[in-house]
Amino acid sequence: LVVIVDFGGQYAQLIARRVRECGVYCEILPYVKSAEEILAKNPKAIILSGGPASVNAPDAPKVDTRIFDAGIPVLGICYGMQLICSELGGKVARPEKREYGHAMFYRDGSSPLFEGVSKETAVWMSHGDSVTDMPAGFGLAGHTDLTPTAAVADEARRIYGVQFHPEVVHTPEGTTMLKNFLFEIAGCQGGWSMGNYIDIAVKSIREQVGNHNVICALSGGVDSSVAAVLVHKAIGDQLTCVFVDHGFLRLGEAEQVVDTFTNKFNMKLVHIDASKHFMDLLKGVTEPEKKRKTIGAEFIHTFQEEANKIPDVKFLVQGTLYPDVVESGTATASTIKSHHNVGGLPKDMKFSLIEPLRELFKDEVRQLGRELGLPEEVINRQPFPGPGLAIRIIGEITPERLDILRRADFIVRDVIKQRGLYNDIWQSFAVLPAAIRSVGVQGDERTYDYTVGIRAVTSSDGMTADYFHFPWEVLDEMSRRICNEVKGVNRVVYDVTSKPPSTIEWE
Ligand code: XMP
């Protein structure tokens, strides 16, 4: 095991991910942990992450320096390197020029950290401070044009520091450096995989839960599904999943959720079909935010009512991923955005949380889901908003409109899947701008029917998006099929706006 001490950089988790990719298990601990707590993990190596602070600031985060005396190899990255140097007797100062972005790194000496790395190699820099004096025992291991001390090494104590970020893709030989540190210097074994993650998570969930009962809100999304199956693996029927079906899911989706969890995984699932109730509540509601709030509040109310019926529930499973943790602000990372996850559960519920995916990125969760045997449809599901199809009917929701949208949406996704485009697209769906009726002619008869909008975007995080450039024949097939197969539609349009200025959803 490797311990990564987190000083609040956006990069701490990325380091963990790279270490896992090398086949080495690691855990992230906040910098406030004592040396005893860190060493109790029995780490083969310790990595000190980057961070936004300056080591010279009065309230700078520090690390318990006794870790340097334990004989365990330490690698400091960016802030981590500066901290090593300042704590062990060197000096850190703010140079006139900050270094940010690409830089050429030149090796000095022959540290095993850079074994097999080119003499000159591109690295990614992002720092205000620099090390000006190395502590006693340290030698220079590399420099860049702007930073004379870009890598330092105390080979005797096996303590290393790099000013650049080996964990980002912009440092192409970064993985070689990390591997050198993990395998050659620290003697890690490798061979760890997501399968091992399951064993570790199962053990820790069992310890956390004891004999209590656990509840989980299932939506059919990737994250909550993987979290639920993982927790079920740990504690079996102590877990009850509650699936609040608000009636705004896509065609066949509710059935799929029930089938997957009850039949395939044999889990305790309470399926609450509240579709009629939600439809009644939304009668006459056209304003998007009112739709969201109504659905969100009722969802929570329904879930809570169900939770109250189960005895001795102490824990709630949440499929929180690492990016969600960063976005909503962690103890150490600063807040980037507060996101609008309507359809989620409030933070102040009386349960303690079990968040077994907190340290993982989305693609790691997918890998974990595969290991757990979840079907590909669940694993590759596109993001779907909590309020579902309710915010894809522009205007009032009626059963007839919902039925039209659901069928049209199915065709959009079906064509995309058949054409092998599904994994190239972030989200693809149909919308029904219900205020529009237009004249058409079908079977020699005049029609006055709905228009369906097709929306498909590429994105990496949903914050910005580009509309997807479909080949014409794909749009053509969708258009024909929708008009032929969905009664009540006589016109299909494609949305060619990106975000910004639009948003992904129409409401
Ligand atoms: P927009 O429409 O803001 O969407 O570009 C960005 C991402 O967020 C999803 N989205 C929601 N998710 N509840 C959710 O859980 C909501 O109310 C909601 N509104 C938008 C949207 O599908 C996209 O992935």
SS3 letters for 296-356?
HHHHHHHHHHHHHHCCCEEEEECCCCHHHHHHCCCCCCCCCCCCCCCCCCCCCCCCEEECC
Give the pLDDT of residue 260: 95
Whole-structure pTM value? 0.80
Residues β-bridged to residue 109? none
Residue 435 CA to residue 329 CA, distance in Å, equals 40
Q: What pLDDT, on the 0 to 100 scale, is given for residue 78?
A: 96
Cα–Cα dist 46/506, whole Å: 48
CB 138 within 8 A of CB 154: yes
**Separation of 385 CA from ligand 1 center, angstroms?**
5
- CA-based torsion, 417, 418, 419, 420: positive or negative: positive
CB atoms within 10 A of CB 457: 23
User: For strand 120-127 and strand 99-107, is the pairing parallel, antiparallel, or unpaired?
Assistant: antiparallel
Nearby residues of 158 by Cβ (< 8 Å), 6 or more positions away: 72, 73, 74, 185, 186
Is residue 223 part of an annotated ligand binding site?
yes
304 CA from centroid of ligand 1 (Å): 24
DSSP per-residue string spanning 94-160: --SS-EEEEEEEEE-S--GGGTTS-SEEEEEEEES-EEEEPPTT-EEEEE-SS-S-SEEEETTTTEE
Q: How far is the CA of 388 from the centre of ligand 1 (A)?
A: 9
Residue 341's pLDDT is what?
Answer: 46
Of 463, 504, 506, 507, the one to substitute when testing ligand 1's pocket (max ligand atoms within 8 A of C-beta) is 504
Q: Name which residue sits closest to atom 3 of ligand 1, judged by CA.
A: 503
Burial of 238 (0-12, 13-18, 19+ CB in 10 A): buried
**Which DSSP state fits 427?**
E
224 is in an annotated binding site: yes
Give the tens place of pLDDT for each residue, 446-458: 999 999 999 999 9
Please answer whether residues 188 and 44 qualify as being in contact, where contact means their C-beta atoms are separated by less than 8 angstroms.
Answer: yes
Fold equal for 2-185 and 194-379: yes
Residue 225 annotated as lining a ligand binding site: yes
Please, what sign has the CA dihedral across residues 228, 229, 233, 238? Answer: positive
User: Tokens 């949305």 map to which residue?
Assistant: 495
The response to whether 460 counts as a known ligand-binding position is no
Written in H, E and C, the secondary structure of 184-213 is: HHCCCCCCCCHHHHHHHHHHHHHHHHCCCE
Please identify every residue annotated as catalytic: 78, 165, 167
Q: What's the pLDDT score for residue 337?
A: 33
Q: Which residues line ligand 1 (CB under 6 A)?
A: 292, 340-343, 383, 385-387, 427, 462, 499, 503-505
Residue 255 DSSP SS3: helix
In CATH, the number for domain 2-185 is 3.40.50.880
The gap from C-alpha 43 to its chain's centroid, in whole angstroms, comes to 26
Please report the sign of the dihedral spanned by the C-alpha atoms of residue 381, residue 503, residue 288, residue 404: negative
Please give the distance, rounded to the nearest whole angstrom, from the Cα atom of residue 421 to the centre of ligand 1. Answer: 21
Q: Does domain 194-379 have CATH number 3.40.50.620?
A: yes
What phi and psi values does residue 204 have, to the nearest 5 degrees? Answer: -75, -30
Closest ligand 1 atom number to CA of residue 503: 5
219 alpha carbon to ligand 1 midpoint, in Å?
15
Predicted pLDDT at 338: 37
Asked if CATH classification 3.30.300.10 holds for the domain at 398-494, the reply, yes or no, is yes
Supply the pLDDT for residue 325: 64
Contact status, residue 91 vs residue 85, Cβ threshold 8 Å: yes
Give the position of tokens 């000083």: 7
**What SS3 state is found at 363?**
helix
pLDDT value at residue 335: 42
315-331 core/surface letters (b: 16 or more CB in 10 A; e: else): bbbbbbbbebbbbbebe
Q: What is the pLDDT of residue 9?
A: 65
pLDDT value of position 360: 87
Domain ranges of the chain: 2-185, 194-379, 398-494
Low-confidence stretches of the chain (pLDDT < 50) are: 329-331, 333-343
- Of all protein residues, whose CA lies closest to atom 17 belonging to ligand 1? 342
| Residue 101 counted as an annotated binding residue | no
